[in-house]
Chains A and B, each alone.
Chain A
Amino acid sequence: MQCDDLLNYLSDYIDNDLDEALSAEARAHLATCPNCKVVLDTTMQTIALTRDREKRVIPAARRQQLFDQLQDAFLNQPDKTM
């Protein structure tokens, strides 16, 4: 496997979407290519940092307001199955 191939397969490798033969080839390449190893490690770190990023939520007061309005609409919408 060459660097170009590794780059193409990188996300599949990270997501465990490669079959065993390709995965073994990728591991063999990574063991001998420091540049590709850096690309793999920094890509995984990038993914980890975005996943750890605090998730934004609807401000609490507004969320309650929204729920009340919507529940009202939900309960007052006629049920056509009855």
Chain B
Amino acid sequence: MPEAEFTDNAALLERLRERDADAFRQVFEHYSDRLFRVALRILEDEREAEGVVQDSFLRLIESLDRLRGDAKIGTWLYRVAHNAALDRLRRRRPTQDLADEAQDDPGDLPPPVNLVDWTDLPEDQLCSSEATDYLDQAVAGLSDSLRAVFTLREIEGLSTAETADTLGISQSAVKVRLHRARLTLRERLADYFSEQVGLGDPKQA
């Protein structure tokens, strides 16, 4: 489900320019938690992520009269929030280079190693709190460039084009990074869940 934009984007921007309080509430309701999650995936700190939400909306307010009529408010906000979170991260660890190796070569994918089928595990095992913690850590363990694409596409439901606009990269780079992120996470989850396959079920052991 594409969630990045309102369908009546131009009308909404016009109402914002006229300082329509309802329009502002609508935009805040729609985007504040989404921007929070984008920032949280980068910063892993709730207060800092709230700061990013605040900064992003303040930037929007300041920029209202400069935005083009066809500007996409959602993608614009995502981009501002993403960059603001990266800025905060750089301030926090200034000596560390954030530019991780861009893995945009479509060839040369790591071959899948763990080929155990764990998809028939019962729901309560797949969704146990230990399993979801493991999943969160696996997402957090992705490289910065893969995690950014994975978060926007898979968790926030942005389209390939919207993700490309937000991150300032090509659509083909979005696709390659999403593919790598999925395969990386698949491998991590397979390592975790495959150990539970066959436990208490002798015919799969």
Contact = CB atoms under 8 A, between A and B. Distances in A.
Interface of A: 7-8, 10-12, 35, 38-39, 41-43, 45-47, 49-59, 62-63, 66-67, 69-71, 73-75, 77, 79-81
Interface of B: 17-19, 21, 24-25, 28, 32-33, 36-37, 40, 46, 49-50, 53-54, 57-58, 61-62, 64-65, 106-107, 109, 111-112, 115-119, 126-127, 131-132, 135-136, 139, 150, 154-155, 175, 178-179, 182-183, 185-186, 189-190
B127 A70 contact: no
B17 A47 contact: no
Describe A's contact surface by its main secondary structure: helix
B40 A56 contact: yes
Chain B interface, DSSP helix/strand/loop, else mixed: helix
Given A11-B178, A62-B50, 17 more contacts: A8-B109, A39-B112, A39-B186, A41-B119, A55-B33, A55-B37, A56-B40, A57-B36, A58-B46, A66-B53, A70-B58, A70-B61, A74-B57, A77-B19, A79-B19, A79-B65, A81-B65
A51 B155 contact: yes
B98 to A, nearest CB: 23
A46 B58 contact: no
Contact of A57 (B33, B107, B127, B135): B33
Given A52-B127, A57-B36, A74-B24, A81 B189 contact: no
A12 B106 CA distance: 12
B17 A79 contact: yes
A41 to B, nearest CB: 5
